[in-house]
Amino acid sequence: MAKPLIAIGLDAADPSLIEEWTAKGYLPTIQRLKDQGIYSRLKTFEYYRAETPWTTFLTGCAPQQTGYWAPLKFYPNDYSVEEIQAYQFDEYRPFYDLCKERQVAVFDMPQSVLSEQVDGIQVLAWGAHSPMTASHSLPVHLLSELTEKHGAHPMLRRDHAPVLNWSALKRLQAGLETGIERRANICADLLQQKPWDFFLTVFGEPHAAGHFFWHLSRPDHPLYAYTAKADDDPLLSTFQSIDRAIAKIVDAAPADANFMVFAAHGMGANVMDLPSMVFLPEFLYRWNFPGCIGLAAGKSGSLPDKPIVGLRAQQGWLGTMWSLKHDRNLLLRTLRRALPRKIFDKVTALLPKSQQPDLVSPFQLKLESHPLYFQAPLWYREFWPQMKAFALPSFSEGYVRINLQGRETAGIVSPDDYDIVCQELTDSLYQLKDARTGTPMVEQVIRTRSHAGDLNPKHPDADLVVIWQDSYATDTVESPIHGRIGPVPYLRTGSHRSDGFLVMNGPDIPENASVPAGHALDLAPTVLDLMNIEIPEYFTGKSMFPDRALSGFRES
């Protein structure tokens, strides 16, 4: 039998941070595992990079196989968007289903499913970031027993904070670090209960910390000068807490265990939230209706105003963003920016209602209990049937849907014109620039369908995917034809990158071996290879350490 394998995921922990902080001695546990074992960078997909990594890890399959691209689904019959949560695993199961006759423990794996095929224990949604599953376990009583003994994760499903509110950010940090400590105690407890053949846990805390603390740690972020404190780096502190927790897990593990510490994707300055969630839907609105403005009218030909960091922005992004709505009536536009929202709403309730279509208020969407009320693309939903192309909600890159005849109920783009519209829009997108630096905003526009008649159900909902530049986190953009959008308030300050990493250490892992860069798809087959389990033919990836490459990798 193979030796025990302990796999520790660090959700969205960027390799650049790991490399910098281990070199400086800030993460001694990871540094030791890395220096006495092997280290390799990983890549994941360049688009849908925020939505697919855990499904890729769990199934060993690319999104083209599973058909799972995002936790959101667009329905062309009524132009609605539904939050569908995680992949259903009907066609491809979690890889640890294949660990037959092995004792398996899975604690807090995000976006997974309980499996009756696993011989061991499974606990889901104790404290994972965006778990996309119910909080439950097998055996059914285990989650409640662990929570009663060690405590709940204080930030489950609420691991966020306004990025300009220092007190809220420090509360988030405290909650994350409490969760990290409790996670370490639970894992140590489970490891000492029995000799597991495979033990898997995932720290979700790096994901939340990266989204909301990035500007407090990285001096090149535009908000660093407004918010950071030289003697207090919550991002580093969170990772140091994780490093101590990993040490506790290592100490509790069997002496002959092999270890994997990995991230399937990474994090950097947020170059995607505002471009995908604000600039793209507004640009497409102006592109479809020349001369019209929906949000954030800016003055072209002048230096942009300074970043929005005032009191209203400190209290919340949503209200600040909605105050930038461009009402046709100048008086309303002025009052919207000057008055608190609740007072403005009372004033406008006394005025005659306009009969013209308008943007949908996020606060109205919230009253309707729409889970995506904060997604600015949805604010334009009343216009979608009238638009040749519109932006879909996104957690990463920009997603554009063509309003195609025969596919969308009210489609207005002829299939014969599909290629022409895609090309015209692509050319216009390439003209967008960051208004502060002049940097082109669009690195690449990717077509997901070769032609209008390509209706493969496993394709993503988007017809075009916009890959944004990643050199600067901008808050205002400029189009030579459609004018300036912004400045707008910053949202999350960290966003995802397609870079991950893998550290391996243990008796079966050669020290300081040269290992080529891998892919997130290679993680599942690498686990199975280490456990002497046959790798399925349907896996897209391969083991990073085949027998022929490293002698003595397996037991004889």
How confident is the model at residue 544, as a pLDDT?
87
Per this entry, what is the length of the chain? Answer: 556
What is the longest distance spanned by two Cα atoms in the chain? 82
pLDDT at residue 310 in the model: 84
CATH number of 5-269+496-530: 3.40.720.10
Sequential DSSP letters for 186-221:
HHHHHHHHS--SEEEEEE-HHHHHHHHHHHHH-TTS
Predicted confidence band of residue 335 (pLDDT cuts 50, 70, 90):
confident
pLDDT score, position 356: 78
What sign for the dihedral angle of Cα 298, 325, 373, 173?
positive
Q: What is the pTM of this model?
A: 0.95
Higher model confidence: residue 228 or residue 346? Answer: 228
- Grade residue 341 by pLDDT with cuts at 50, 70 and 90: confident
The pair of structure tokens assigned to 502 is: 């893998």
3-state secondary structure 80-122: EEEECCCCCCCCCCCHHHHCCCCCEEEECCCCCCCCCCCCEEE
pLDDT class of 550 with cuts at 50, 70, 90: very low
- Cβ neighbours around 117 below 10 Å, total: 12
Q: Report CA torsion sign: 205, 208, 213, 214.
A: positive
Q: DSSP string covering 413-467, please?
A: B-GGGHHHHHHHHHHHHTT-EETTT--BSEEEEEES-SSTT---TTS-S-SEEEE
Are 80 and 69 in contact by the 8 Å Cβ rule? The answer is: no
Q: Residue 546: what pLDDT?
A: 59
| pLDDT in the model for residue 205 | 98
Domain locations in the chain? 5-269+496-530, 273-318+359-491, 327-358
Q: Phi-psi region for residue 501, left (φ > 0), alpha (ψ -120 to 50) or beta?
A: beta
Over residues 545-555, the mean pLDDT reads: 42
Return d(Cα 556, Cα 532) in angstroms, integer: 11
Q: How confident is the model at residue 76 (pLDDT cuts 50, 70, 90)?
A: very high
- CA nearest 8: which of 214, 211, 205? 205
- How far are the Cα atoms of 61, 285, 435, 484 from residue 300, in angstroms, in the given order? 46, 18, 9, 6
d(CA 231, CA 391) in angstroms, rounded, equals 41
**What is the distance between the alpha carbons of residues 199 and 107, in angstroms, rounded to a whole number?**
8
Angle at 481 between CA 477 and CA 483, to 5 degrees: 40
The pLDDT value recorded for residue 338 is: 86
Residue 556 has a pLDDT of: 26
443 contact partners, CB below 8 Å, separation of at least 6 = 467, 468, 469, 470
pLDDT tens digit sequence for 263-299: 999 999 999 999 999 999 999 999 999 999 999 999 9
Per-residue pLDDT for 313 more than 90?
A: no
Tell me the CA distances in angstroms from 19 to 26, 39, 234, 241, one per residue in order: 10, 10, 18, 17
pLDDT digits (tens, 9 = 90+) for 349-399: 777 777 678 999 999 999 999 999 999 999 999 999 999 999 999 999 999
Please compute, for residue 399, the number of CA atoms within 13 A of its CA located in the half-sphere on the CB side. 25
**pLDDT tens-digit profile of 492-504?**
999 999 999 999 9
> Are 239 and 26 spatial neighbours (Cβ–Cβ below 8 Å)?
yes
Average pLDDT, integer, range 306-330: 89
Alpha-carbon distances of 18 from 284, 495, 517, rounded to whole Å: 38, 16, 16
With beta carbons less than 8 A apart as the criterion, state whether 238 and 12 touch.
no
Overall average pLDDT of the 198-211 stretch: 98
Q: Which two tokens stand for residue 122?
A: 């499974």
Is the pLDDT reported for residue 42 higher than 50? yes
